Structure 1
Protein backbone atom coordinates (compact mmCIF):
# COMPACT_ATOMS: atom_id res chain seq x y z
CA UNK A 1 0.00 0.00 0.00
CA UNK A 2 1.45 3.30 -1.10
CA UNK A 3 2.24 5.90 1.52
CA UNK A 4 -0.10 8.83 1.80
CA UNK A 5 1.21 12.11 0.37
CA UNK A 6 2.85 14.45 2.87
CA UNK A 7 0.61 17.01 4.45
CA UNK A 8 0.93 20.50 3.00
CA UNK A 9 2.73 23.04 5.16
CA UNK A 10 0.44 24.94 7.50
CA UNK A 11 -0.80 28.30 6.31
CA UNK A 12 0.59 31.07 8.53
CA UNK A 13 -1.63 33.58 10.26
CA UNK A 14 -2.88 36.12 7.73
CA UNK A 15 -4.11 38.84 10.08
CA UNK A 16 -1.17 41.17 9.45
CA UNK A 17 -0.93 40.52 5.71
CA UNK A 18 -3.92 39.37 3.68
CA UNK A 19 -6.35 40.43 6.41
CA UNK A 20 -5.10 44.01 6.36
CA UNK A 21 -5.27 44.18 2.57
CA UNK A 22 -8.80 42.76 2.53
CA UNK A 23 -10.03 45.28 5.11
CA UNK A 24 -8.47 48.10 3.11
CA UNK A 25 -10.10 46.99 -0.14
CA UNK A 26 -13.54 46.66 1.45
CA UNK A 27 -13.28 50.16 2.93
CA UNK A 28 -11.87 51.53 -0.34
CA UNK A 29 -14.74 50.03 -2.34
CA UNK A 30 -17.26 51.54 0.07
CA UNK A 31 -15.58 54.93 -0.33
CA UNK A 32 -15.67 54.49 -4.12
CA UNK A 33 -19.43 54.02 -3.89
CA UNK A 34 -19.73 57.27 -1.94
CA UNK A 35 -17.48 59.04 -4.43
CA UNK A 36 -19.57 57.73 -7.34
CA UNK A 37 -22.73 59.10 -5.75
CA UNK A 38 -21.04 62.44 -5.12
CA UNK A 39 -19.86 62.54 -8.74
CA UNK A 40 -23.41 61.97 -9.97
CA UNK A 41 -24.71 64.70 -7.68
CA UNK A 42 -22.01 67.06 -8.91
CA UNK A 43 -22.90 66.67 -12.58
CA UNK A 44 -26.62 67.11 -11.89
CA UNK A 45 -26.27 70.10 -9.53
CA UNK A 46 -23.49 72.07 -11.25
CA UNK A 47 -23.94 71.69 -15.03
CA UNK A 48 -22.54 75.18 -15.66
CA UNK A 49 -19.12 74.54 -14.18
CA UNK A 50 -16.19 74.81 -16.56
CA UNK A 51 -15.34 71.99 -18.93
CA UNK A 52 -11.93 71.72 -17.28
CA UNK A 53 -13.40 71.28 -13.81
CA UNK A 54 -15.96 68.74 -15.00
CA UNK A 55 -13.19 66.94 -16.85
CA UNK A 56 -11.13 66.79 -13.65
CA UNK A 57 -14.04 65.23 -11.77
CA UNK A 58 -14.60 62.68 -14.52
CA UNK A 59 -10.91 61.81 -14.79
CA UNK A 60 -10.62 61.22 -11.05
CA UNK A 61 -13.69 58.97 -11.08
CA UNK A 62 -12.15 56.92 -13.92
CA UNK A 63 -8.89 56.62 -11.99
CA UNK A 64 -10.85 55.41 -8.97
CA UNK A 65 -12.68 52.88 -11.13
CA UNK A 66 -9.39 51.56 -12.49
CA UNK A 67 -7.97 51.39 -8.97
CA UNK A 68 -10.97 49.38 -7.74
CA UNK A 69 -10.83 46.93 -10.65
CA UNK A 70 -7.11 46.12 -10.37
CA UNK A 71 -7.29 45.87 -6.58
CA UNK A 72 -10.06 43.29 -6.61
CA UNK A 73 -8.37 41.43 -9.46
CA UNK A 74 -5.29 41.10 -7.26
CA UNK A 75 -7.39 39.98 -4.29
CA UNK A 76 -9.13 37.33 -6.45
CA UNK A 77 -5.82 35.99 -7.73
CA UNK A 78 -4.32 35.80 -4.24
CA UNK A 79 -7.33 34.20 -2.53
CA UNK A 80 -8.77 32.02 -5.34
CA UNK A 81 -6.27 31.39 -8.13
CA UNK A 82 -3.40 30.88 -5.68
CA UNK A 83 -5.49 29.46 -2.87
CA UNK A 84 -3.37 27.63 -0.30
CA UNK A 85 -0.13 29.20 -1.53
CA UNK A 86 0.59 31.97 1.00
CA UNK A 87 3.85 32.91 -0.68
CA UNK A 88 1.79 34.86 -3.21
CA UNK A 89 0.62 37.25 -0.49
CA UNK A 90 4.05 38.84 -0.16
CA UNK A 91 4.71 38.35 -3.89
CA UNK A 92 1.32 39.38 -5.32
CA UNK A 93 0.31 39.67 -8.98
CA UNK A 94 1.24 42.77 -10.96
CA UNK A 95 -2.27 44.19 -10.58
CA UNK A 96 -1.56 44.75 -6.87
CA UNK A 97 1.13 47.28 -7.83
CA UNK A 98 -1.14 49.47 -9.97
CA UNK A 99 -2.87 51.15 -6.98
CA UNK A 100 0.43 53.02 -6.47
CA UNK A 101 0.03 54.48 -9.97
CA UNK A 102 -3.64 55.41 -9.54
CA UNK A 103 -3.17 56.81 -6.03
CA UNK A 104 -0.28 58.98 -7.21
CA UNK A 105 -2.33 60.60 -9.99
CA UNK A 106 -5.37 61.11 -7.76
CA UNK A 107 -3.33 62.66 -4.96
CA UNK A 108 -1.49 65.18 -7.13
CA UNK A 109 -4.72 66.17 -8.93
CA UNK A 110 -6.69 66.81 -5.75
CA UNK A 111 -3.87 68.50 -3.87
CA UNK A 112 -3.18 70.79 -6.84
CA UNK A 113 -6.87 71.73 -6.77
CA UNK A 114 -6.59 72.81 -3.13
CA UNK A 115 -3.20 74.49 -3.68
CA UNK A 116 -4.79 76.61 -6.40
CA UNK A 117 -7.27 77.92 -3.84
CA UNK A 118 -4.38 79.26 -1.79
CA UNK A 119 -3.11 81.12 -4.86
CA UNK A 120 -6.51 82.64 -5.64
CA UNK A 121 -7.26 83.61 -2.07
CA UNK A 122 -3.83 85.06 -1.27
CA UNK A 123 -2.83 86.36 -4.68
CA UNK A 124 0.70 85.10 -3.94
CA UNK A 125 2.77 82.37 -5.52
CA UNK A 126 5.31 81.39 -2.85
CA UNK A 127 3.28 78.86 -0.86
CA UNK A 128 1.58 77.36 -3.95
CA UNK A 129 4.93 76.89 -5.69
CA UNK A 130 6.40 75.18 -2.63
CA UNK A 131 3.39 72.85 -2.42
CA UNK A 132 3.54 72.12 -6.15
CA UNK A 133 7.23 71.23 -5.88
CA UNK A 134 6.46 68.89 -2.99
CA UNK A 135 3.59 67.33 -4.95
CA UNK A 136 5.84 66.74 -7.96
CA UNK A 137 8.46 65.15 -5.71
CA UNK A 138 5.83 62.86 -4.23
CA UNK A 139 4.61 61.93 -7.71
CA UNK A 140 8.16 61.16 -8.79
CA UNK A 141 8.83 58.88 -5.82
CA UNK A 142 5.50 57.10 -6.33
CA UNK A 143 6.28 56.49 -10.00
CA UNK A 144 9.74 55.23 -9.02
CA UNK A 145 8.14 52.74 -6.63
CA UNK A 146 5.60 51.74 -9.27
CA UNK A 147 8.31 51.14 -11.86
CA UNK A 148 10.55 49.13 -9.55
CA UNK A 149 7.75 47.01 -8.08
CA UNK A 150 6.33 46.35 -11.55
CA UNK A 151 9.56 44.50 -12.31
CA UNK A 152 9.54 42.56 -9.03
CA UNK A 153 6.25 42.86 -7.10
CA UNK A 154 7.37 41.77 -3.63
CA UNK A 155 5.96 43.63 -0.62
CA UNK A 156 9.01 42.95 1.53
CA UNK A 157 11.00 45.26 -0.74
CA UNK A 158 8.92 48.17 0.57
CA UNK A 159 10.43 47.83 4.04
CA UNK A 160 13.96 47.02 2.86
CA UNK A 161 15.07 48.29 -0.54
CA UNK A 162 12.55 51.16 -0.75
CA UNK A 163 12.46 52.03 2.91
CA UNK A 164 13.39 55.71 2.64
CA UNK A 165 11.26 56.27 -0.49
CA UNK A 166 8.17 55.14 1.44
CA UNK A 167 9.07 57.45 4.32
CA UNK A 168 9.44 60.43 1.96
CA UNK A 169 6.16 59.70 0.15
CA UNK A 170 4.30 59.19 3.43
CA UNK A 171 5.68 62.45 4.84
CA UNK A 172 5.07 64.76 1.88
CA UNK A 173 1.31 64.13 1.66
CA UNK A 174 0.40 65.22 5.21
CA UNK A 175 2.91 68.08 5.00
CA UNK A 176 1.21 69.52 1.91
CA UNK A 177 -2.24 69.07 3.48
CA UNK A 178 -1.16 70.91 6.62
CA UNK A 179 0.48 73.75 4.66
CA UNK A 180 -2.60 74.20 2.46
CA UNK A 181 -5.04 74.09 5.38
CA UNK A 182 -2.93 76.47 7.48
CA UNK A 183 -2.56 78.91 4.58
CA UNK A 184 -6.27 78.92 3.78
CA UNK A 185 -7.20 79.40 7.43
CA UNK A 186 -4.67 82.25 7.75
CA UNK A 187 -5.98 84.15 4.73
CA UNK A 188 -9.61 83.42 5.58
CA UNK A 189 -9.08 84.72 9.11
CA UNK A 190 -7.62 87.88 7.63
CA UNK A 191 -10.81 88.34 5.57
CA UNK A 192 -12.82 87.92 8.76
CA UNK A 193 -11.77 91.38 9.94
CA UNK A 194 -14.97 93.13 8.94
CA UNK A 195 -17.93 94.78 10.63
CA UNK A 196 -20.37 92.64 8.68
CA UNK A 197 -21.66 89.86 10.93
CA UNK A 198 -22.89 87.86 7.94
CA UNK A 199 -19.44 87.93 6.38
CA UNK A 200 -17.77 86.79 9.59
CA UNK A 201 -20.23 83.92 9.92
CA UNK A 202 -19.57 82.83 6.35
CA UNK A 203 -15.81 82.98 6.83
CA UNK A 204 -16.17 80.84 9.98
CA UNK A 205 -18.08 78.30 7.91
CA UNK A 206 -15.39 78.32 5.23
CA UNK A 207 -12.69 77.76 7.85
CA UNK A 208 -14.58 74.75 9.21
CA UNK A 209 -15.05 73.53 5.65
CA UNK A 210 -11.31 73.84 5.01
CA UNK A 211 -10.49 71.73 8.05
CA UNK A 212 -13.10 69.12 7.11
CA UNK A 213 -11.73 68.63 3.59
CA UNK A 214 -8.13 68.07 4.72
CA UNK A 215 -8.50 66.35 8.08
CA UNK A 216 -9.04 62.76 6.92
CA UNK A 217 -6.32 62.82 4.26
CA UNK A 218 -3.86 64.29 6.76
CA UNK A 219 -4.67 61.74 9.47
CA UNK A 220 -4.49 58.92 6.94
CA UNK A 221 -1.02 59.99 5.82
CA UNK A 222 0.21 60.36 9.39
CA UNK A 223 -1.13 56.93 10.39
CA UNK A 224 0.48 55.38 7.33
CA UNK A 225 3.86 56.84 8.30
CA UNK A 226 3.55 55.89 11.98
CA UNK A 227 2.58 52.28 11.22
CA UNK A 228 5.28 51.94 8.58
CA UNK A 229 7.94 53.05 11.06
CA UNK A 230 6.62 51.05 14.02
CA UNK A 231 5.29 47.82 12.43
CA UNK A 232 7.75 46.71 9.77
CA UNK A 233 6.82 43.06 10.31
CA UNK A 234 3.33 43.34 8.80
CA UNK A 235 1.34 45.28 6.20
CA UNK A 236 -0.93 47.25 8.52
CA UNK A 237 0.36 50.53 7.07
CA UNK A 238 -0.98 49.47 3.66
CA UNK A 239 -4.53 49.87 4.99
CA UNK A 240 -4.13 53.64 5.01
CA UNK A 241 -2.16 53.70 1.77
CA UNK A 242 -4.83 51.75 -0.09
CA UNK A 243 -7.68 54.02 1.04
CA UNK A 244 -5.81 57.31 0.73
CA UNK A 245 -6.75 57.92 -2.90
CA UNK A 246 -10.41 57.43 -2.04
CA UNK A 247 -10.13 59.95 0.79
CA UNK A 248 -8.60 62.49 -1.59
CA UNK A 249 -11.32 62.05 -4.21
CA UNK A 250 -14.09 62.22 -1.62
CA UNK A 251 -12.61 65.38 -0.10
CA UNK A 252 -12.63 66.97 -3.56
CA UNK A 253 -16.23 66.00 -4.23
CA UNK A 254 -17.34 67.11 -0.76
CA UNK A 255 -15.72 70.46 -1.44
CA UNK A 256 -17.42 70.87 -4.81
CA UNK A 257 -20.85 69.67 -3.75
CA UNK A 258 -20.65 71.55 -0.46
CA UNK A 259 -21.30 74.78 -2.32
CA UNK A 260 -25.00 74.03 -2.06
CA UNK A 261 -24.94 74.92 1.65
CA UNK A 262 -24.31 78.56 0.71
CA UNK A 263 -27.12 78.94 -1.79
CA UNK A 264 -29.62 79.88 0.89
CA UNK A 265 -27.42 82.66 2.27
CA UNK A 266 -28.95 85.99 1.22
CA UNK A 267 -26.76 88.48 -0.57
CA UNK A 268 -24.22 85.93 -1.72
CA UNK A 269 -23.61 83.88 -4.80
CA UNK A 270 -21.02 81.23 -4.23
CA UNK A 271 -20.14 79.21 -7.21
CA UNK A 272 -17.30 78.31 -9.49
CA UNK A 273 -16.26 80.52 -12.30
CA UNK A 274 -17.29 78.21 -15.08
CA UNK A 275 -16.45 80.43 -18.02
CA UNK A 276 -13.71 79.44 -20.39
CA UNK A 277 -13.18 82.77 -22.13
CA UNK A 278 -9.68 84.17 -22.40
CA UNK A 279 -8.54 85.85 -19.25
CA UNK A 280 -11.09 84.01 -17.14
CA UNK A 281 -10.30 81.31 -14.60
CA UNK A 282 -11.34 77.85 -15.67
CA UNK A 283 -10.39 76.41 -12.30
CA UNK A 284 -12.49 77.14 -9.21
CA UNK A 285 -12.15 80.58 -7.70
CA UNK A 286 -11.85 81.05 -3.97
CA UNK A 287 -12.60 84.73 -3.56
CA UNK A 288 -14.12 86.14 -0.41
CA UNK A 289 -15.49 89.58 0.30
CA UNK A 290 -12.75 92.16 0.05
CA UNK A 291 -12.59 95.21 2.21
CA UNK A 292 -13.66 97.29 -0.74
CA UNK A 293 -16.80 95.26 -1.30
CA UNK A 294 -17.59 95.33 2.42
CA UNK A 295 -18.23 99.04 2.10
CA UNK A 296 -21.02 98.39 -0.38
CA UNK A 297 -23.49 95.63 0.58
CA UNK A 298 -24.77 95.57 -2.99
CA UNK A 299 -21.40 94.18 -4.06
CA UNK A 300 -21.26 91.42 -1.47
CA UNK A 301 -20.88 88.60 -3.95
CA UNK A 302 -18.50 85.77 -3.26
CA UNK A 303 -17.16 83.02 -5.40
CA UNK A 304 -15.95 79.73 -4.05
Structure 2
Protein backbone atom coordinates (compact mmCIF):
# COMPACT_ATOMS: atom_id res chain seq x y z
CA UNK A 1 0.00 0.00 0.00
CA UNK A 2 1.21 3.50 -0.87
CA UNK A 3 2.33 5.66 2.00
CA UNK A 4 0.04 8.58 2.75
CA UNK A 5 1.21 12.15 3.21
CA UNK A 6 -0.95 13.96 5.76
CA UNK A 7 -1.75 17.65 5.99
CA UNK A 8 -4.18 19.73 7.96
CA UNK A 9 -5.44 21.49 4.84
CA UNK A 10 -5.24 20.71 1.14
CA UNK A 11 -5.76 23.63 -1.24
CA UNK A 12 -6.70 22.44 -4.70
CA UNK A 13 -5.73 25.15 -7.18
CA UNK A 14 -2.68 27.38 -6.99
CA UNK A 15 -3.61 30.65 -8.58
CA UNK A 16 -4.42 33.89 -6.75
CA UNK A 17 -7.26 32.75 -4.51
CA UNK A 18 -5.60 29.47 -3.54
CA UNK A 19 -2.24 31.09 -2.82
CA UNK A 20 -3.88 33.85 -0.80
CA UNK A 21 -5.60 31.22 1.36
CA UNK A 22 -2.26 29.44 1.69
CA UNK A 23 -0.53 32.56 2.98
CA UNK A 24 -3.25 33.18 5.54
CA UNK A 25 -2.98 29.60 6.75
CA UNK A 26 0.79 29.17 6.95
CA UNK A 27 0.91 32.32 9.04
CA UNK A 28 -1.68 30.66 11.26
CA UNK A 29 0.78 27.79 11.81
CA UNK A 30 -1.20 25.32 9.71
CA UNK A 31 0.50 22.49 7.83
CA UNK A 32 -0.82 22.84 4.30
CA UNK A 33 -0.31 21.61 0.75
CA UNK A 34 -1.25 23.36 -2.49
CA UNK A 35 -1.90 21.09 -5.47
CA UNK A 36 -1.89 22.86 -8.82
CA UNK A 37 -2.07 21.64 -12.42
CA UNK A 38 -0.53 24.83 -13.81
CA UNK A 39 -3.48 25.86 -15.97
CA UNK A 40 -4.81 29.21 -14.68
CA UNK A 41 -7.62 30.93 -16.56
CA UNK A 42 -5.50 34.07 -17.03
CA UNK A 43 -2.48 32.30 -18.51
CA UNK A 44 -2.87 34.17 -21.83
CA UNK A 45 -3.24 37.59 -20.20
CA UNK A 46 -0.07 39.69 -20.55
CA UNK A 47 -0.86 42.08 -17.71
CA UNK A 48 -3.01 42.16 -14.58
CA UNK A 49 -4.71 45.44 -13.71
CA UNK A 50 -6.80 47.00 -10.94
CA UNK A 51 -4.76 45.31 -8.19
CA UNK A 52 -2.75 47.65 -6.00
CA UNK A 53 1.07 47.39 -6.08
CA UNK A 54 0.85 45.08 -9.14
CA UNK A 55 -1.03 47.18 -11.69
CA UNK A 56 0.26 46.15 -15.11
CA UNK A 57 2.24 43.14 -13.87
CA UNK A 58 2.13 39.83 -15.72
CA UNK A 59 -0.04 37.39 -13.69
CA UNK A 60 2.63 34.71 -13.96
CA UNK A 61 5.14 36.98 -12.22
CA UNK A 62 2.68 37.68 -9.39
CA UNK A 63 2.18 33.95 -8.85
CA UNK A 64 5.93 33.27 -8.93
CA UNK A 65 6.60 36.01 -6.37
CA UNK A 66 3.81 34.69 -4.14
CA UNK A 67 5.16 31.13 -4.26
CA UNK A 68 8.62 32.47 -3.45
CA UNK A 69 7.19 34.23 -0.39
CA UNK A 70 5.28 31.13 0.69
CA UNK A 71 8.32 28.91 0.31
CA UNK A 72 9.96 30.72 3.22
CA UNK A 73 7.43 29.07 5.55
CA UNK A 74 8.40 25.52 6.58
CA UNK A 75 4.74 24.48 6.87
CA UNK A 76 4.04 25.30 3.19
CA UNK A 77 4.14 22.47 0.67
CA UNK A 78 3.28 22.46 -3.01
CA UNK A 79 2.75 19.72 -5.56
CA UNK A 80 2.48 20.07 -9.33
CA UNK A 81 -0.24 17.69 -10.39
CA UNK A 82 -3.95 17.16 -10.66
CA UNK A 83 -6.39 15.76 -8.12
CA UNK A 84 -8.94 13.52 -9.86
CA UNK A 85 -10.74 11.96 -6.90
CA UNK A 86 -11.57 12.83 -3.31
CA UNK A 87 -13.00 10.36 -0.83
CA UNK A 88 -14.31 11.09 2.63
CA UNK A 89 -12.38 9.25 5.33
CA UNK A 90 -12.43 8.91 9.10
CA UNK A 91 -9.78 11.60 9.39
CA UNK A 92 -11.15 13.92 6.73
CA UNK A 93 -10.48 13.44 3.04
CA UNK A 94 -8.31 11.16 0.90
CA UNK A 95 -6.99 12.75 -2.32
CA UNK A 96 -5.75 10.83 -5.34
CA UNK A 97 -4.61 12.02 -8.73
CA UNK A 98 -2.13 12.29 -11.55
CA UNK A 99 1.41 13.17 -10.58
CA UNK A 100 0.64 13.38 -6.88
CA UNK A 101 1.16 11.02 -3.94
CA UNK A 102 -1.72 9.73 -1.87
CA UNK A 103 -2.77 12.64 0.35
CA UNK A 104 -4.77 12.87 3.55
CA UNK A 105 -6.25 16.23 4.57
CA UNK A 106 -8.45 17.25 7.47
CA UNK A 107 -9.96 20.16 5.50
CA UNK A 108 -10.16 21.21 1.88
CA UNK A 109 -10.18 24.54 0.08
CA UNK A 110 -11.22 24.44 -3.57
CA UNK A 111 -9.64 27.15 -5.71
CA UNK A 112 -10.08 25.52 -9.10
CA UNK A 113 -11.89 28.41 -10.75
CA UNK A 114 -14.16 28.62 -13.74
CA UNK A 115 -13.41 27.64 -17.32
CA UNK A 116 -14.44 29.86 -20.22
CA UNK A 117 -16.18 28.00 -23.03
CA UNK A 118 -14.87 29.79 -26.11
CA UNK A 119 -16.50 29.66 -29.56
CA UNK A 120 -14.69 27.36 -31.95
CA UNK A 121 -13.90 30.18 -34.33
CA UNK A 122 -10.35 30.64 -35.66
CA UNK A 123 -8.58 33.48 -33.85
CA UNK A 124 -10.87 33.56 -30.82
CA UNK A 125 -8.79 31.44 -28.46
CA UNK A 126 -5.56 33.01 -29.70
CA UNK A 127 -6.85 36.50 -28.89
CA UNK A 128 -8.59 35.61 -25.60
CA UNK A 129 -7.11 37.62 -22.73
CA UNK A 130 -5.16 39.85 -25.12
CA UNK A 131 -7.61 41.76 -27.29
CA UNK A 132 -10.74 39.72 -26.53
CA UNK A 133 -11.60 40.74 -22.98
CA UNK A 134 -14.09 39.83 -20.27
CA UNK A 135 -13.80 42.82 -17.94
CA UNK A 136 -13.49 46.59 -18.52
CA UNK A 137 -12.36 47.10 -14.91
CA UNK A 138 -9.43 44.78 -15.56
CA UNK A 139 -8.47 45.98 -19.05
CA UNK A 140 -10.78 48.79 -20.21
CA UNK A 141 -8.44 51.70 -19.47
CA UNK A 142 -5.80 50.33 -21.86
CA UNK A 143 -8.22 50.19 -24.82
CA UNK A 144 -10.06 53.49 -24.46
CA UNK A 145 -10.54 55.08 -27.86
CA UNK A 146 -10.03 51.88 -29.81
CA UNK A 147 -12.56 50.36 -32.20
CA UNK A 148 -14.61 48.23 -29.83
CA UNK A 149 -17.12 45.43 -30.16
CA UNK A 150 -19.23 43.23 -27.90
CA UNK A 151 -19.66 39.52 -28.61
CA UNK A 152 -23.07 38.72 -27.18
CA UNK A 153 -26.45 37.41 -28.30
CA UNK A 154 -28.74 37.05 -25.29
CA UNK A 155 -30.99 39.12 -23.05
CA UNK A 156 -28.98 41.64 -21.07
CA UNK A 157 -27.05 42.78 -24.13
CA UNK A 158 -28.43 46.33 -23.86
CA UNK A 159 -27.15 46.75 -20.31
CA UNK A 160 -23.72 45.36 -21.26
CA UNK A 161 -23.43 47.53 -24.34
CA UNK A 162 -24.46 50.71 -22.52
CA UNK A 163 -22.07 49.89 -19.68
CA UNK A 164 -19.14 49.39 -22.07
CA UNK A 165 -19.85 52.74 -23.77
CA UNK A 166 -18.36 54.33 -20.66
CA UNK A 167 -14.98 53.15 -22.00
CA UNK A 168 -15.85 53.15 -25.72
CA UNK A 169 -18.09 55.90 -27.07
CA UNK A 170 -19.05 53.75 -30.03
CA UNK A 171 -19.62 50.03 -29.85
CA UNK A 172 -20.84 47.34 -32.23
CA UNK A 173 -22.59 44.18 -31.06
CA UNK A 174 -21.68 41.01 -32.94
CA UNK A 175 -24.37 38.33 -32.59
CA UNK A 176 -22.80 35.72 -34.93
CA UNK A 177 -26.21 34.82 -36.33
CA UNK A 178 -29.89 35.73 -35.94
CA UNK A 179 -30.78 37.84 -32.92
CA UNK A 180 -31.73 35.80 -29.86
CA UNK A 181 -32.42 38.66 -27.44
CA UNK A 182 -35.81 40.33 -27.03
CA UNK A 183 -37.29 42.91 -29.35
CA UNK A 184 -37.36 45.32 -26.43
CA UNK A 185 -33.58 45.05 -26.07
CA UNK A 186 -33.19 45.57 -29.81
CA UNK A 187 -35.21 48.80 -29.65
CA UNK A 188 -33.19 50.04 -26.68
CA UNK A 189 -29.91 49.31 -28.49
CA UNK A 190 -31.03 51.33 -31.50
CA UNK A 191 -32.07 54.26 -29.29
CA UNK A 192 -28.67 54.14 -27.59
CA UNK A 193 -26.99 54.29 -30.99
CA UNK A 194 -25.50 50.82 -30.72
CA UNK A 195 -24.96 49.04 -34.03
CA UNK A 196 -25.47 45.29 -34.09
CA UNK A 197 -24.20 42.97 -36.80
CA UNK A 198 -25.87 39.60 -37.27
CA UNK A 199 -23.66 38.10 -39.98
CA UNK A 200 -22.09 34.72 -39.24
CA UNK A 201 -18.42 35.03 -38.35
CA UNK A 202 -15.81 33.02 -40.23
CA UNK A 203 -12.64 34.07 -38.45
CA UNK A 204 -11.12 36.72 -36.21
CA UNK A 205 -8.12 38.24 -37.93
CA UNK A 206 -5.31 39.08 -35.53
CA UNK A 207 -1.59 39.58 -35.17
CA UNK A 208 -0.29 37.48 -32.27
CA UNK A 209 -3.56 37.89 -30.43
CA UNK A 210 -4.13 41.55 -31.30
CA UNK A 211 -7.32 41.86 -33.33
CA UNK A 212 -7.44 43.79 -36.58
CA UNK A 213 -10.85 42.76 -37.93
CA UNK A 214 -13.69 40.26 -37.95
CA UNK A 215 -14.22 38.37 -41.20
CA UNK A 216 -17.70 37.08 -41.96
CA UNK A 217 -18.77 34.01 -43.91
CA UNK A 218 -19.88 36.38 -46.68
CA UNK A 219 -16.28 37.54 -47.10
CA UNK A 220 -16.92 41.01 -45.69
CA UNK A 221 -14.76 42.35 -42.88
CA UNK A 222 -15.39 44.67 -39.94
CA UNK A 223 -12.35 46.53 -38.55
CA UNK A 224 -11.88 45.90 -34.85
CA UNK A 225 -9.23 46.52 -32.20
CA UNK A 226 -10.85 45.07 -29.09
CA UNK A 227 -13.77 42.74 -28.45
CA UNK A 228 -15.53 42.26 -25.12
CA UNK A 229 -17.06 38.81 -24.98
CA UNK A 230 -19.79 37.29 -22.85
CA UNK A 231 -19.05 33.57 -23.10
CA UNK A 232 -20.44 30.63 -21.11
CA UNK A 233 -18.49 29.51 -18.05
CA UNK A 234 -18.42 26.14 -16.31
CA UNK A 235 -16.67 24.84 -13.22
CA UNK A 236 -13.08 23.97 -14.15
CA UNK A 237 -13.24 20.90 -11.94
CA UNK A 238 -16.05 18.44 -11.31
CA UNK A 239 -14.57 17.46 -7.93
CA UNK A 240 -16.63 19.83 -5.74
CA UNK A 241 -19.92 18.63 -7.18
CA UNK A 242 -18.90 14.96 -7.06
CA UNK A 243 -17.97 15.42 -3.40
CA UNK A 244 -21.43 16.84 -2.68
CA UNK A 245 -20.95 20.60 -2.81
CA UNK A 246 -24.10 22.45 -3.83
CA UNK A 247 -24.08 24.21 -7.19
CA UNK A 248 -26.23 27.31 -7.70
CA UNK A 249 -28.32 27.87 -10.86
CA UNK A 250 -25.64 30.36 -11.97
CA UNK A 251 -23.08 27.54 -11.99
CA UNK A 252 -21.18 28.89 -8.97
CA UNK A 253 -20.67 26.94 -5.76
CA UNK A 254 -22.91 27.92 -2.89
CA UNK A 255 -20.81 29.30 -0.04
CA UNK A 256 -21.34 31.19 3.21
CA UNK A 257 -20.08 34.72 3.81
CA UNK A 258 -16.84 33.07 4.92
CA UNK A 259 -16.61 30.84 1.80
CA UNK A 260 -17.56 27.54 3.45
CA UNK A 261 -19.63 25.24 1.23
CA UNK A 262 -22.59 23.17 2.42
CA UNK A 263 -20.07 20.48 3.40
CA UNK A 264 -18.44 21.16 6.79
CA UNK A 265 -14.71 21.72 6.44
CA UNK A 266 -14.87 22.27 2.68
CA UNK A 267 -14.36 25.82 1.39
CA UNK A 268 -14.41 27.33 -2.11
CA UNK A 269 -12.76 30.60 -3.13
CA UNK A 270 -12.28 32.80 -6.17
CA UNK A 271 -14.56 33.02 -9.17
CA UNK A 272 -15.81 29.46 -8.77
CA UNK A 273 -17.92 30.78 -5.90
CA UNK A 274 -18.53 34.38 -6.94
CA UNK A 275 -19.69 36.47 -9.90
CA UNK A 276 -16.61 38.67 -9.43
CA UNK A 277 -13.66 37.72 -11.63
CA UNK A 278 -10.73 39.86 -10.58
CA UNK A 279 -7.34 39.37 -8.97
CA UNK A 280 -8.33 41.63 -6.08
CA UNK A 281 -11.44 39.61 -5.28
CA UNK A 282 -9.61 36.30 -5.65
CA UNK A 283 -7.01 37.42 -3.12
CA UNK A 284 -9.72 38.76 -0.80
CA UNK A 285 -11.74 35.55 -0.82
CA UNK A 286 -8.67 33.38 -0.20
CA UNK A 287 -7.54 35.56 2.69
CA UNK A 288 -10.96 35.46 4.35
CA UNK A 289 -11.43 31.71 3.82
CA UNK A 290 -8.01 30.91 5.24
CA UNK A 291 -8.55 33.05 8.32
CA UNK A 292 -12.04 31.75 9.02
CA UNK A 293 -11.10 28.12 8.45
CA UNK A 294 -8.25 28.50 10.93
CA UNK A 295 -10.63 30.13 13.42
CA UNK A 296 -13.14 27.31 13.03
CA UNK A 297 -10.43 24.72 13.62
CA UNK A 298 -9.26 26.47 16.78
CA UNK A 299 -12.76 26.79 18.22
CA UNK A 300 -14.06 23.36 17.26
| Bin of the TM-score, shorter chain as denominator length | under 0.3
The TM-score with structure 2 as length reference comes to 0.26
Name which structure has the greater RCO, CA cutoff 8 Å, separation 6+: 1
| Greater strand content | 2
The TM-score with structure 1 as length reference comes to 0.26
